[in-house]
Amino acid sequence: GAVVSQHPSRVICKSGTSVKIECRSLDFQATTMFWYRQFPKQSLMLRATSNEGSKATYEQGVEKDKFLINHASLTLSTLTVTSAHPEDSSFYICSATDRGDQPHHFGDGTRLSIL
């Protein structure tokens, strides 16, 4: 089946630093990738949609300059949390799809902890 690899699985860093999270589709070409954020015991909240070769689309309330997304190839999308602060601490999960087909395939997530 389709495999999505997300790296790193866990990040702990100081407030003010920038953190990059990678999402790779290993055995298919992902024309679209999605970035979610999940708070404890809550739903997965879509934060942005990343299309290969074009600008990302952000959900309402998401700061574009804080959550930078790059989808430079059909197998890789990156999310950079710039100048991270403790309130950015969360579980971030990416998913990928080929030509928008369902189901979307998810990475294992990144636990981000900002001290």
Q: Quick check: 30 and 74 in contact, CB under 8 A?
A: yes
Residue 96 CB, nearest approach to other proteins (Å): 11
Give whichever of 13 and 106 is closer to other proteins, judged by the CB atom: 106
Stretch that binds other proteins, among 14-22, 42-50, 62-70, 71-79 (CB under 8 A): 42-50
Residue 42 CB, nearest approach to other proteins (Å): 6
Amino acid at residue number 68: L
Residue 13 CB, nearest approach to other proteins (Å): 19
CB neighbourhood size of 7 (10 A): 14
Range 61-100, binding other proteins (CB under 8 A): 93, 95, 97, 100
Tell which one of 83, 85, 108, 115 touches other proteins (CB under 8 A): 108
Sign of CA dihedral 40, 45, 46, 47: negative
* Structural element, H or E, at residue 58: strand 57-58
Residue 25 CB, nearest approach to other proteins (Å): 13
Q: Quick check: 3 and 25 in contact, CB under 8 A?
A: yes
